[in-house]
Structure 1
Amino acid sequence: MTDDAYLVLVNGTGSTLGVPPGAVGDLVCMDTPAVRAWLHAFGITANSPQLRLVPPEATSAVPEDAERLPVPLGEEELSRVRHQAVPRDVARLEDELLAYRSITDGRDALLTRALAAGVPAHRVAELTGEDLAVVEAAAR
């Protein structure tokens, strides 16, 4: 496995390899001179149906003879590529996990603020669904 994502030219338009770059939204790498020159060399555009973006963990599926270019992706960009590359039912579950993360982000700070404001630990546990021991640990 490699740490690089790859732009890959595939034979035919029915490939399930990676995702079309346009499906991911704006990617910084698509505006780099290296990518523009590579696309130009093959006479294609960023919207070509033969162009696919493959995340690092899937590069072993790229055919040996396929034209490819390693591209740098930021963490958020790579997350979007991976999200687009999974089946729809998995993508929906990933969306739920992201929503869960956004809800629980800052949980300890919220528990601490509630306790500091005088909300009893048992009431915080009742309202949040957290175990009382977890709430009490936030007070320490």
Structure 2
Amino acid sequence: MALVDHLGMTVVDLDTARKQFHPVLAELGYTCGYDGDDSISWQHGEDTELIVFPAREPGGHRHGRAGWQHLAFALDSRGEVDRLHAAAVDAGWAVVREPKLFPRFNERYYASFVEDASGIRVEFMHNPPRESPGD
């Protein structure tokens, strides 16, 4: 059973979110389960369902304010981080941080960060285990 059943996110414009989220989530193996005027949802087997809802008030999210910080997707390789980053950029996501190593987390942590048109930030990351206890 998933620890988180579903995650709902509010977006400024549902049509823009559809164009930005769908290609990226499809690359991650998610399938669209519902697509209507009131929300869009994606599932990945029994994993957490992701749902976007249209905002009831104007204005998008601002990173650093109370609330959403970011959602990180753990990937199997640096190449996968690069591939998903490119898919997000192609879908209109803004680059926050290009794919690179983040030694402040650890010497193996490779990631990129992007934001959608509503200011929702997503991280694609690869953090392989150490090769041996002495590494």
* TM bracket (short chain): under 0.3
Higher relative contact order (CA 8 A, sep 6+): 1
TM-score (norm 2): 0.27
Greater Rg over alpha carbons, structure? 1
Q: Higher helix share goes to which structure?
A: 1
TM-score (norm 1): 0.27
